[in-house]
Structure 1
Amino acid sequence: MAVEFCLGGFSSIVSEGAKSLFKPIIRQISYVFKYQSYVDELKDQVMQLGCKREMVQQPVNHARLQGDELYEGVADWLHSVDEFISEGVANSIIDDENGAKKYCFKGLCPNLLSRYKLSKKAAKAAKDAADLVGKGNFSSVSYRPAPKSTEYMQVKDYEAFDSRKKVFQDVLEALKDDKLNIIGVYGMGGVGKTTLVKQVAKQVTEDKLFDKVAMAEVTENPDHQKIQDKLASDLGIKFELNESIFDRANRLCRVLKNEERHLIILDNIWGELKFDEVGIPSGDVKKERMDDQRRCTIILTSRRQDLLRNVMNSQKEIQIDALSKEEALHLFQKIVGDSMKTSAFQPIAHEIVGRCGELPVALITLAKALKNMSLETWKYVLRQLRSSYAKEIDGMEKNVYLSLKLSYDLLGNKEAKSLFLLCGLFSEGHAIPVSSLLRYGMGMGYFRNVYTPEEARSTVHTLISKLKSSCLLLDGDAEDEVKMHDVIRVVAVSIAKEELMFNIPNVADLDKKMEETVQEGPIAISLPYRGIQVLPERLQCPRLELLLLLEKGGGSMPISDHFFDGTEGLRVLNFTGIHFSSLPSSLGRLINLQTLCLEYCRLKDIVIVGQLKKLEILSFRGSDIERLPLEFGQLTRLQLLDLSNCRRLEVITPNVICQSWLHLEVFGMAASRRV
């Protein structure tokens, strides 16, 4: 202390000019006598660097999980920090601190040389650490890369038939025409419009005719937000969490008007879609600058030419017809394989192909169902196609419907059939989450010899593979999703209705439709995104086993306390996006309920759920629950509990999990970080 005091005093009495001269000398002297200060400063900087690294690493980990790219500066900074730590310079200096405290000359004199070396190293290491801390202030660590069109526009089952080559070339030529910015492709359902425009997208990307390509399905009941999400994903745009649909549209429009050339494909148009509400620029090419218009070109697909021309204002419509008889037979033969080489099969194949209307979706689906089947099965299929049983629905030819229905019949596997009908209860154009199929299927008891979620997960993936191989399901945009061709979906909804499983359409008089449906004695009712304002006082469906009511969370919905009276047989219940003032007291009477999903709901008191003692699957995903009450300890059969994104959850009553939920296998708490 005396030495340090002398150094301070000496520094204070010299002139400012002398200070600059003596400063290096003072610093060198301070290395000997102030070594502890340098070591302490290093410790402090190392601790700050560790905290800063953790603060940066958390969003980096999240970004990597989301598939985002790190900014180069962030990656370089992490690498520099790792190098600083791995070299171990700071730790070795700190470890040598005790050595510097030792005295020499039999303890009469401090080891000045050791202190000098240690202090000098510590000062340099502390400065390096401080510099790294200062450089670690990042407002953002990552960005969402734009997807490569050739990666997400994977085209399956595309055959370059002569009838398709001309249409394909016509579309390409139209895209090169500067006078056209809205092009329509039309043809009957299942003729291959989607497959063709995907192939066009792949080709123009490879030819660099456009810088970016984005594609979204519109469907019969357009969801503007869903369309925006898909286009944004393809274009590499990331919307803010609370960004309004209007602001999203403006941002999309600005991107599509920039210097890049964009191709927007809107698939499966059923009625008028206002481009400006989605965010797609589409001005009159005769009135606006040509270079602006060529920055965004639109392809529309529909079953109706008049809709494209008169409502959507397309400047050119290109028709895609059914395959020729020769092309249809070739496609059918390619799929069924060796069976066609046998003379007994050939005449049957010719007639089956003809009765499928030369439509690819019917041909491919039925051919995959008949592959490796016996001659008797082929004869059975032909007899069915000849029968008068076939019916016409939604403008679909009778034999097209029946050919797809026969593909379902030939599945054989009852579990696969049940899963297919379950898919028909989802909203048109919406992805079908595999997790929902698992939860509903378990609750309905569809899977034989399956007793745990893990076993069910394996079964569901096996069944999905079977349905995909039969072309009754398609790959989804994400790994944990599947999709259904709109023509296949029509068939699924029709067959499900015969089995008393009803997907209630978007009708004007929903109350009347619900009343009619209840009188049918339904086993399942699905009301996906129908904008329901009020539900009946009592449901009174004694045979009902599954009820799905999915909303977008737009507001509260009054539900009578007596709503579930007369539905004691219910096994699966999903209320999504509903703002409950309170859960109906009749919910406690659902003594057979095995799957309950209250997702993205506003919930207050959930104590009543504890009365549902047969529950095996319970999901509060995205809901605003704050606590799991003690009464949940009665749910001793619970196997799957999903608390993902329950951001307000703070309390889980002690001992409920460890003592009561002995069979719990899945406890999803991602993003529920406050517990």
Structure 2
Amino acid sequence: MAFATLPNFNIFESTNAARKEIIKALEDKKFNFIGVYGMGGVGKTTLMQAMMKELKNERFFDRVVMATVSQNPLLKNIQNEIAESWGFKLKNYSESESVGLLWRLIQQEKRILLILDDVWEPLNLKDVGVPYGDKEGCCVIITTRFSDMCDQMNTQYKVEVKVLSEANAWELFRVSTGDCVDSSELNAVAKEIAKECGDLPLALVTLGNALQNKDRAIWNVALDQMKKSMLWRIEDFIVSEDDLLPYVLSEDIFEDIDNMEEARNRLHSVLDTLEQSCLLLNVDGKTQVSGCTILFERWPF
């Protein structure tokens, strides 16, 4: 992802706040299993990549290893990615041999951090070959879109990576476009596009890079497509359970509802699930629908 190559990644308030909280937890010897969560595109992976370099350079750990889990994980792929940190290939290893090898490799390190990125379902660390809990000095961080995934995997500490502030989002978009948005010709349309990106780093960088050195007509096409596509994002607005309840009842969204209290409880449960999945935000005690889902297609420019 292009964002990983940008200088001064940690200057952004939201990512720097998450970074500081992760460091604080790692420094506390009682925490060796940390969950990092936030909506898709918010920059969890990039933050972890940046922290890998920092933790290595500061000699915080003797070895830092990162492996991608993804939505449909293959245990062998995860194990192989971890083993490659030591220069091993697991192609000719059986599942039990792979577990045994990783167990021994991790055990030999005095202090090691394993980052498992993009976790969608609970993962048994010992099935992977990670002696978490059986080895002092073995720390694990998972990243996930789902707050409750941290709870399901029994992480000891949770850190949320939040969206960028409006000012930081604009600065990131500006840098990603090579500062071409400073021109009077592009500035207005660029600010509209940046707003449509919902303060998500992945969206800002992807669009910024794609539109760099393009003429005004192509910028206008991009903005039109973003505004018309429901797949791009959901417009930000504050919504309450009281706002939604009449729609739930009139549209018969829930089946087998006998009374108003049951409908309200079901709605509350659904909203809580969405919030735990970072598809809704809680802002000052109010639920906010936010630009949370981005499906990047090949743009026609």
Q: TM-score range by the shorter chain?
A: 0.7 to 0.9
How big is the alpha-carbon RMSD for the aligned residues of Structure 1 and Structure 2? 2.5
Aligned to 1:305: 147
Deviation, 1:194, is: 0.7
8 Å Cα contact 1:391-1:398 kept in structure 2: no
Q: Quick one: structure 1 residues 306 and 164, their matched pair in 2 at CA, closer, same or farther if it must change by over 3 Å?
A: same
8 Å Cα contact 1:275-1:281 kept in structure 2: yes
How far apart in 2 are the matches of 1:338 and 1:155? 18
Deviation, 1:236, is: 3.6
Match of 2:74 among 203, 223, 233: 223
Aligned to 2:6: 157
Deviation, 1:252, is: 1.2
Aligned to 1:170: 21
Aligned sequence identity (%): 35
Aligned to 1:212: 63
Aligned to 1:351: 192
1:99-149: CA deviation from partner (whole Å, max 9, x where unpaired): xxxxxxxxxxxxxxxxxxxxxxxxxxxxxxxxxxxxxxxxxxxxxxxxxxx
1:298-332: CA deviation from partner (whole Å, max 9, x where unpaired): 010000110112x1111011010111111111111
Residue aligned with 1:354, SS: helix
8 Å Cα contact 2:65-2:113 kept in structure 1: yes
What letter corresponds to residue 272 of structure 1 in structure 2? P
Q: Does residue 276 of structure 1 match 2:276?
A: no
Q: Does residue 244 of structure 1 match 2:94?
A: yes
Deviation, 1:198, is: 1.2
8 Å Cα contact 1:185-1:299 kept in structure 2: yes
Relative to the length of structure 1, the TM-score reads: 0.34
How many aligned positions are there? 244
Deviation, 1:182, is: 0.6
Write out aligned runs for 1:387-406 (5 A).
387=228, 389-391=229-231, 401=294, 404-405=296-297
Write out aligned runs for 1:503-518 (5 A).
none
8 Å Cα contact 2:169-2:201 kept in structure 1: yes
8 Å Cα contact 1:186-1:317 kept in structure 2: yes
Write out aligned runs for 1:31-180 (5 A).
155-157=4-6, 159-160=9-10, 161-180=12-31
Report which of the two structures shows the higher radius of gyration computed on alpha carbons: 1
8 Å Cα contact 1:385-1:399 kept in structure 2: no
How far apart in 2 are the matches of 1:320 and 1:308? 13
Q: Does residue 202 of structure 1 match 2:92?
A: no
8 Å Cα contact 1:192-1:361 kept in structure 2: yes
Residue aligned with 1:337, SS: coil
How far apart in 1 are the matches of 2:226 and 2:92? 52
Q: Quick one: structure 1 residues 338 and 222, their matched pair in 2 at CA, closer, same or farther if it must change by over 3 Å?
A: closer
Write out aligned runs for 1:294-443 (5 A).
295-309=137-151, 311-387=152-228, 389-391=229-231, 401=294, 404-405=296-297, 408-411=298-301
How far apart in 2 are the matches of 1:399 and 1:382? 18
Deviation, 1:398, is: 6.8
Q: Does residue 185 of structure 1 match 2:36?
A: yes
1:609-628: CA deviation from partner (whole Å, max 9, x where unpaired): xxxxxxxxxxxxxxxxxxxx
Residue aligned with 1:205, SS: helix
Deviation, 1:174, is: 1.3
1:234-271: CA deviation from partner (whole Å, max 9, x where unpaired): 134455x6432112212211222235211101000000
Aligned to 2:107: 257
1:544-596: CA deviation from partner (whole Å, max 9, x where unpaired): xxxxxxxxxxxxxxxxxxxxxxxxxxxxxxxxxxxxxxxxxxxxxxxxxxxxx
8 Å Cα contact 1:362-1:400 kept in structure 2: no
1:617-651: CA deviation from partner (whole Å, max 9, x where unpaired): xxxxxxxxxxxxxxxxxxxxxxxxxxxxxxxxxxx
How far apart in 2 are the matches of 1:349 and 1:367? 9
Q: Which runs of 4+ in 1 moved over 6 A?
A: 392-399
8 Å Cα contact 1:390-1:398 kept in structure 2: no
How far apart in 2 are the matches of 1:398 and 1:266? 25
Deviation, 1:162, is: 2.4
How far apart in 2 are the matches of 1:362 and 1:347? 18
How far apart in 2 are the matches of 1:238 and 1:365? 33
1:653-674: CA deviation from partner (whole Å, max 9, x where unpaired): xxxxxxxxxxxxxxxxxxxxxx
Deviation, 1:276, is: 0.9
Deviation, 1:409, is: 2.3
Residue aligned with 1:265, SS: strand
1:330-357: CA deviation from partner (whole Å, max 9, x where unpaired): 1111122353222242222222111111
What letter corresponds to residue 119 of structure 2 in structure 1? I
What letter corresponds to residue 391 of structure 1 in structure 2? L
How far apart in 2 are the matches of 1:375 and 1:267? 38
What letter corresponds to residue 184 of structure 1 in structure 2? G
How far apart in 1 are the matches of 2:93 and 2:193? 52
1:393-412: CA deviation from partner (whole Å, max 9, x where unpaired): 9969778637x33xx2233x
Relative to the length of structure 2, the TM-score reads: 0.74
Structure scoring higher RCO (CA < 8 A, sep ≥ 6) equals 2
1:365-405: CA deviation from partner (whole Å, max 9, x where unpaired): 11112111222222222222222x32379969778637x33
How far apart in 1 are the matches of 2:30 and 2:44? 23
Q: Which moved more, 1:174-183 or 1:154-163?
A: 154-163
Residue aligned with 1:409, SS: coil
Q: Quick one: structure 1 residues 323 and 398, their matched pair in 2 at CA, closer, same or farther if it must change by over 3 Å?
A: closer
How far apart in 2 are the matches of 1:281 and 1:328? 40
8 Å Cα contact 2:63-2:109 kept in structure 1: no
8 Å Cα contact 2:40-2:293 kept in structure 1: no
8 Å Cα contact 2:71-2:121 kept in structure 1: yes
Q: Quick one: structure 1 residues 249 and 354, their matched pair in 2 at CA, closer, same or farther if it must change by over 3 Å?
A: same
How far apart in 2 are the matches of 1:179 and 1:379? 53
Residue aligned with 1:401, SS: coil
Aligned to 1:125: none
Deviation, 1:155, is: 4.3
Residue aligned with 1:350, SS: helix
Q: Quick one: structure 1 residues 318 and 226, their matched pair in 2 at CA, closer, same or farther if it must change by over 3 Å?
A: same
How far apart in 2 are the matches of 1:165 and 1:391? 29
